[in-house]
Every structure is written in structure tokens, then in C-alpha cells.
């Protein structure tokens, strides 16, 4: 299996997704847009992962490659590709599918639970998960659920945490791919955002969690990838 990854910043990489690809013998290619905005022919990409990043989806002046990336995403989706978007990646997909992306009522940074919707329990991609899971968040913006998509999860701070379109395009506002190393990286690079607020944890609270917390989200990530990309 060939999987292409769109990466927006050096400090938000695929994390445990790479462990899953190595375990299963899948081939991984990258577009590291922070270094080179070139994108592959969308007709050659049938499995795509779109990572997160600190930018807003409309910051075209600072990140001119965003327009081309959105066009690329639209072509991959229209061509029948299987796509996973994480955080910024999910927001980009929502925008491409015609949904509104906007600032959320609260920034959500740290470890907080999500709850699955009743509809999520009926899907192949999410149906195996527990009804509630504590996951890692780092976002200020959020998305409306695209037309024709299934609303999969919510949290107390953010109603729309995940959606599934056409049983093959998945948007996750939260992070299941996170590892201790990736959490350390994003905390170091985005520490200015760690200001006291209802849904923002301190750097210490974010980093000093048991390994079992990462095992739980990474196990969920593997199960989702097995089902979404099979």
C-alpha cells in the first residue's frame, strides 16, 4: 500500500502513523509544504494523510501553497481517494467539501475526552471505539460538518470533533497519532498558546501523562487506519 503524507510544519509529523506504516510494510511518500510546495499528480494518490499545523486555512498571503493544496485535496477526493485529515488537515477537507471553518468558542489544548455520536457507532471506521476516549487536542478553529457527512464525535468544548464523508474521507479535529516525542515538539514550538483558560492545560499537564494514555490513542489510530485505508 502506498500512502502520501502532506506535512505543513516540521514539528507536526505523522507520529504513530509512521509506526503503523512500518509495521504493515506500507510505502510512505511526503510533500513537506514548509520546504517545497510541489504536490504530486492527484491521480497517482489513492491514500492520503493531511497533517496539522498552526496556520489558518485562509492565510494565503503567508502560505500561498494553501490554494494549490486545497485544489489537490479536491481532486484526490473527487477521484475516489481515501483521505485522513488531522486538525488543520480536517479543517482543509471540511472547507474543500463546502463546510464553514471558523474560530471556535474556546481554544482546546491538552488532554480532554471526546464522546462518540450514536451515528458513529454504526460506522465501520469508528464503530469499534469505546463511547468515550481521552485524546490530545491543539486547536482554536473548528469546522461545520460537511453536507452528506456523518458527525462522529464531540467534546464539551467543541461540538464538531470528527466527520466521515462517503465512508472514505475522515476528518479528526483531535490527535490520535501523538507520541511523547511529538507532544514535546508541539509544546515547545507553540508554548505561547499555553495561557490560562478553561480548556487549555499547562505544559506540565500536557506532557506528564502516563504512557497508557498514548497507548490508548495510538491503538485507536491503528484501528481507524486499518479500516479507512483497507
Whether residue 190 lies in the annotated active site? no
Q: How far is CA 164 from the centre of its chain?
A: 12
In degrees rounded to 5, what are phi and psi of residue 192?
A: -65, -20
Scan for cell 511523547, then name that residue. Answer: 180
Cα 136 from Cα 109, distance rounded (Å) = 8
Whether the pTM exceeds 0.95: the reply is yes
Q: Which helix (H) or strand (E) holds 64?
A: none
Q: Is 47 helix (H, G, I), strand (E, B) or coil?
A: strand
Burial (0-12, 13-18, 19+ Cβ within 10 Å), 130: exposed
pLDDT tens digit at each of 230 positions of the chain? 999 999 999 999 999 999 999 999 999 999 999 999 999 999 999 999 999 999 999 999 999 999 999 999 999 999 999 999 999 999 999 999 999 999 999 999 999 999 999 999 999 999 999 999 999 999 999 999 999 999 999 999 999 999 999 999 999 999 999 999 999 999 999 999 999 999 999 999 999 999 999 999 999 999 999 999 99
Cα 178 from Cα 135, distance rounded (Å) = 9
Whether domain 2-228 has CATH 2.40.170.20: the reply is: no
Active-site residue identified among 69, 108, 177, 222: 177
How close are the terminal C-alpha atoms of the chain, in Å? 9
Cα 147 from Cα 169, distance rounded (Å) = 13
What sign does the dihedral 47-163-127-8 (CA atoms) show? positive
Closest among 175, 125, 171 to 14, alpha carbons compared? 175
Residue pair 87/55 in contact (Cβ under 8 Å)? The answer is no
Residue pair 34/72 in contact (Cβ under 8 Å)? The answer is no
Whether residue 175 lies in the annotated active site? yes
Residue pair 110/79 in contact (Cβ under 8 Å)? The answer is no
Active-site residue identified among 16, 87, 137, 222: 87
What sign does the dihedral 3-130-141-189 (CA atoms) show? negative
Residue pair 75/42 in contact (Cβ under 8 Å)? The answer is yes
Q: How far is CA 50 from the centre of its chain?
A: 7
Amino acid at each position: 500500500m502506498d500512502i502520501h503524507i502532506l506535512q505543513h510544519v516540521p514539528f507536526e509529523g505523522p507520529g504513530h502513523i509512521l509506526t503503523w506504516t512500518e509495521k504493515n510494510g506500507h510505502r510512505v511518500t511526503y510533500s513537506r509544504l514548509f520546504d517545497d510546495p510541489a504536490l504530486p499528480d492527484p491521480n497517482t494518490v489513492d491514500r492520503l494523510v493531511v497533517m496539522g499545523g498552526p496556520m489558518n486555512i485562509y492565510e494565503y498571503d503567508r502560505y500561498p501553497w494553501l490554494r494549490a493544496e486545497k485544489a489537490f485535496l479536491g481532486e484526490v477526493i473527487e477521484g475516489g481517494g481515501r483521505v485522513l485529515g488531522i486538525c488543520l488537515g480536517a479543517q482543509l477537507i471540511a472547507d474543500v467539501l463546502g463546510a464553514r471553518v471558523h474560530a471556535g468558542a474556546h481554544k482546546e489544548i491538552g488532554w480532554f475526552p471526546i464522546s462518540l455520536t450514536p451515528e458513529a457507532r454504526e460506522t465501520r471506521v469508528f464503530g469499534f471505539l469505546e463511547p468515550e476516549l481521552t485524546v490530545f487536542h491543539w486547536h482554536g478553529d473548528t469546522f461545520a460538518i460537511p453536507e452528506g457527512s456523518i458527525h462522529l464525535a464531540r467534546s464539551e468544548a467543541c461540538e464538531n470533533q470528527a466527520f466521515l464523508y462517503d465512508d472514505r474521507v475522515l476528518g479528526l479535529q483531535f490527535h490520535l497519532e501523538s507520541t511523547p516525542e511529538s507532544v514535546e515538539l508541539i509544546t515547545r514550538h507553540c508554548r505561547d498558546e499555553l495561557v490560562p483558560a478553561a480548556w487549555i492545560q499547562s505544559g506540565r499537564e500536557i506532557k506528564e501523562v502516563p504512557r497508557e494514555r498514548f497507548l490508548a490513542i495510538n491503538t485507536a489510530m491503528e484501528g481507524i487506519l486499518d479500516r479507512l485505508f483497507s
